[in-house]
């Protein structure tokens, strides 16, 4: 049994938009304002532009190789098992975290009416035992909907996306019309109270990149698209453009609606009654109680819709890992609706475990951004290698000046990982190391002993991980030791990017080693 091609262009577009409009919209404007002040508006613009450059590389890859769990399969074609496994492992773990992140956001807002869902520990709101039970029930519901087939899942998502967009733009109108203080954008330190450093730090830490990278489900569902060559570029780029406009307007409306007293002690200490649920709290403080009820409903549907999408797309990513030979074949069995149910249940169990080391939305989100962007950094490398090894393969969407744009995209991904800071990158190192230990053991004595692992040809990847880790340790972001001054660090990351880029392209598979069939 194989996957059924049942998803239309609209379905893929809404999948990409739905992946981007989730909990980042509910918390992003608040955290971005704390980290960057009014410069948060610039952060959303910069983040959007950076992710469009990266997304262009995946638009070519996904439309040229429309495979289920595409981001995993591209690397298998370009660099072989070691590189593919490394990035598959990191991307899988990070994508598993999305459903818990979105569920956590949903329950955070729901605690306004059901306070027992959360309890306060050292001034931090965490899920209670009732909250964990509610999370499990919600995530099982997502599993059930996905088990009924991709067509049903995308139809439900289409409805949820319409609700998300409608409420989002109506929220912007309400905030602009009720209260807008132009002085907020120049007060308390000016437009950039924490400089460009604060703007860049907010990209991974405030949920900005987390929101924009949500186009991932469209890539993973490519194997079930009716016309992937046409649909994927439209879905990926179109969704990003829609969301850039939405998020800039939302951030501007949020900042303008604040009262000067909310940031009287500096933007880093921005607070107001109800800031645990920032957008709802702000609207409530403006006296629009009737609209708060609408927003609370939306605060449930937005994260649920994004989690629903990632429950399905992550299972496809995991399926691609099995197709590459990294997982047992029995796990890949499809049910009568052409869905890998066993993988969905495995992802559910692992997702529940992630509530333990990452109990807050911001902690879990920052880890996900670092891991997923790190995994996506190899996409531009795969594109250049596949251009060389499969020059005659049809490319409905061909990226112009690919070699230079892919280098820029690779550099952007490395910068974003670096900006998450050493505190997060160090955790990512633990995940990568554990994956390598498991790969080494199982390739020697376990079910992966059939794999032909070219460790020598993958030494560039080991060097890449070490160099990015050292730069993060020595940098000025998120627990870094400030051994490299801000400004110089961008040049250091550029040097690392160029060296690894050229090394990785030269280490790709040869033409006779690549085989591909749809």
pLDDT per residue of the chain (518 residues) written in tens, 0 to 9: 466 676 778 888 888 888 888 777 878 899 999 999 999 999 999 999 999 999 889 888 888 887 776 667 787 788 777 777 887 788 777 778 788 888 887 887 787 778 888 777 666 667 788 888 988 899 999 899 888 887 788 888 888 888 888 888 888 998 898 889 999 998 888 899 999 999 999 998 888 887 888 787 777 777 777 877 778 888 889 999 999 999 999 999 999 988 888 888 889 888 776 655 677 778 877 777 788 878 877 777 778 888 888 888 788 777 777 776 777 777 778 788 788 888 888 888 888 877 765 556 666 667 777 777 887 788 899 899 989 888 888 888 888 888 999 999 999 999 988 988 898 888 888 888 887 777 777 666 665 555 666 667 788 988 999 999 999 999 999 888 999 999 899 999 999 999 999 999 988 877 666 665 54
Residue 122 DSSP class: T
All residues at 6 or more sequence positions from 206 whose CB lies less than 8 Å from its CB, including other chains: 28, 31, 32, 34, 35, 36, 40, 43
Q: Is residue 109 situated within a structural domain?
A: no
Q: Is residue 200 situated within a structural domain?
A: yes
Run of H or E including 119: strand 118-121
Report CA 106 to chain centroid distance, whole Å.
17
Q: Is residue 484 situated within a structural domain?
A: yes
Report CA 293 to chain centroid distance, whole Å.
29
pLDDT recorded at residue 25: 81
Q: Is residue 351 situated within a structural domain?
A: no
Task: Compute φ and ψ for 271, nearest 5 degrees.
Answer: -155, 155
* Residue of 375, 402, 405 whose CA lies nearest to 387: 402
CATH number at residue 453: 1.20.1740
* 428-432, Cβ contacts within 8 angstroms, sequence gap of 24 or more: 428/90, 428/367, 428/370, 428/371, 428/374, 429/465, 429/469, 431/89, 431/90, 431/93, 431/371, 432/86, 432/89, 432/90, 432/465
pLDDT recorded at residue 516: 52
pTM of model > 0.85: no
Spatial distance between the Cα atoms of 410 and 376, rounded to a whole number of angstroms:
9
pLDDT recorded at residue 107: 84
Q: Which domain holds residue 57?
A: 9-98+152-272+361-513
Q: Is residue 193 situated within a structural domain?
A: yes
Residue 47 near residue 212 (C-beta atoms within 8 A): yes
Phi-psi region of 469 (alpha: psi -120 to 50; beta: other; left: phi over 0): alpha
Spatial distance between the Cα atoms of 46 and 59, rounded to a whole number of angstroms:
20
Q: Is residue 197 situated within a structural domain?
A: yes
Q: Is residue 126 situated within a structural domain?
A: no
Spatial distance between the Cα atoms of 187 and 249, rounded to a whole number of angstroms:
20
Structural domain tally of the chain? 1
Q: Is residue 286 situated within a structural domain?
A: no
pLDDT recorded at residue 232: 82
């Amino acid at each position: 049994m194989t996957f059924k091609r049942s998803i239309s262009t609209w379905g893929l577009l809404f999948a990409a938009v739905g992946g981007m409009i989730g909990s980042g919209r509910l918390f992003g404007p608040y955290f971005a304002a704390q980290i960057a002040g009014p410069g948060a508006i610039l952060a959303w613009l910069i983040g959007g532009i950076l992710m469009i450059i990266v997304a262009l590389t995946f638009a070519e890859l996904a439309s040229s190789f429309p495979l289920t769990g595409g981001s995993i399969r591209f690397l298998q074609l370009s660099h072989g098992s070691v590189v593919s496994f490394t990035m598959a492992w990191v991307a899988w773990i990070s994508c598993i975290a999305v459903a818990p992140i979105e569920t956590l956001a949903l329950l955070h807002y729901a605690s306004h009416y059901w306070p027992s869902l959360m309890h306060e520990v050292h001034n931090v709101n965490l899920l209670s035992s009732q909250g964990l039970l509610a999370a499990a029930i919600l995530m099982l519901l997502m599993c059930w909907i996905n088990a009924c087939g991709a067509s049903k899942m995308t139809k439900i998502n289409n409805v949820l996306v319409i609700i998300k967009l409608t409420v989002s733009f109506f929220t912007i109108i309400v905030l602009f019309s009720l209260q807008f203080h132009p002085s907020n954008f120049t007060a308390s330190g000016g437009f950039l109270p924490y400089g460009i450093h604060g703007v860049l730090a907010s990209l991974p830490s405030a949920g900005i990149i987390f929101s924009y990278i949500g186009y991932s489900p469209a890539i993973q569902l490519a194997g079930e698209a009716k016309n992937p060559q046409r649909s994927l570029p439209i879905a990926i780029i179109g969704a990003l453009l829609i969301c850039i406009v939405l998020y800039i307007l939302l951030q501007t409306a949020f900042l303008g609606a604040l009262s000067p007293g909310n940031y009287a002690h500096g933007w880093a200490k921005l607070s107001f009654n109800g800031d645990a649920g920032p957008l709802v709290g702000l609207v409530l403080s403006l006296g629009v109680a009737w609209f708060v009820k609408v927003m609370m409903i939306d605060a449930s549907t937005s994260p649920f819709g994004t989690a629903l999408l990632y429950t399905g797309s992550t299972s496809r990513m995991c399926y691609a890992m099995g197709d590459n030979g990294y997982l047992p074949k029995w796990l890949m069995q499809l049910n009568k609706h052409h869905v890998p149910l066993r993988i969905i249940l495995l992802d559910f169990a692992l997702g529940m475990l992630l509530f333990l080391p990452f109990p807050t939305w911001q902690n879990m989100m920052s880890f996900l951004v670092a891991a997923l962007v790190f995994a996506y950094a190899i996409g531009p490398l795969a594109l250049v290698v596949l251009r060389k090894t499969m020059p005659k393969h049809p490319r409905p969407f061909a990226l112009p000046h690919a070699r230079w744009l892919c280098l820029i995209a690779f550099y952007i991904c490395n910068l974003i990982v670096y900006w998450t800071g050493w505190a997060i990158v160090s955790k990512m190192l633990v995940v990568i190391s554990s994956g390598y230990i498991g790969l080494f053991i199982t390739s020697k004595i376990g079910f992966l002993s059939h794999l032909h692992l070219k460790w020598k040809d993958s030494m560039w990847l080991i060097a890449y991980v070490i160099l990015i880790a050292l730069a993060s340790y020595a940098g000025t972001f998120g627990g870094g030791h400030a051994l490299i001054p801000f400004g110089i660090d961008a040049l250091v990351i550029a040097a690392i990017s160029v060296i690894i880029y050229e090394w990785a392209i030269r280490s790709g598979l040869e033409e006779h080693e690549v085989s591909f069939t749809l």
